[in-house]
Amino acid sequence: MKQYLLPILAVVFGVIIVILTKRKNIINTRLLLAFSGAFLLALTLFELLPEVYHHLDAKQTGLFIMLGILIQVTLEFFSKGAEHGHVHYHNNQQFPWAIFISLCIHSFLEGFPIHHHNDMVYGILVHKIPIAAVVTGFLLNAHCNKWYVALFLIVFASMTPLGTFISNHVAVMADYVDIVNAIVIGIFLHISTTILFESSEGHKFNLTKLLTIILGVAIAYFI
């Protein structure tokens, strides 16, 4: 049950953060992004990568991981970087459908590995909280229709559980689970490394960020 519930709660937590901080808690958001990037990267390396290389040919695995990176780069062309906590978008109060669709595709794909790697749900949980906070703050500051904002958040929250459900219950996916996981590894590698480089002001490392990253890696190793 946690595989389906935690990704939804992550979006709820992100919205609560925006409401409680009134969209101004930038420092803590950056630290949460740094932690989420390190945590997600470590879980990907510790959990997903060894198993995919075990079941697939090494060169084939590399090809699908590269495909995942290219897919994520393409999605970010439309989402303006929302997956790693930076929404670079200038709008005229129109609802950003490109961001909505791109984030939903990303969220849907990241649900697939949870089927065989239950610990990955914690990485998704930590990853989605700052994204939900940043995107919610952006949509509210852009004065988008609040009904559209609510619908966006509901659909966005449901995409990861939907991916997990399909991975669990659609029989044909059993033949492709390692391929999909390899693609998702590429997505996670691109996102997490981008987060680690972008989560501090001016792209500068500091001691607090370094300790946050170490903490994220350590927790991922021991869970």
Closest C-alpha among 168, 4, 187 to residue 105: 187
Residues 191, 40: Cα–Cα separation, whole Å: 9
| pLDDT of the residue at 162 | 93
- What's the CA gap between 213 and 129, in Å, rounded? 17
Across all residues in the chain, what is the average pLDDT? 84
Low-confidence ranges of the chain (pLDDT < 70): 22-29, 84-94, 115-118, 199-205
86-138, pLDDT tens digit by residue? 665 555 556 788 888 999 999 999 999 886 666 788 888 888 888 888 888 88
- Return the pLDDT at 188: 93
Residue type, 85: G
CA distance 194 to 37: 8
What is the domain partition of the chain in residue ranges?
A: 2-17+27-83+91-222
Q: pTM of this prediction?
A: 0.87
Report CA-CA distances (Å) from 64 to 55, 75, 108, 165, 180: 13, 16, 17, 22, 8
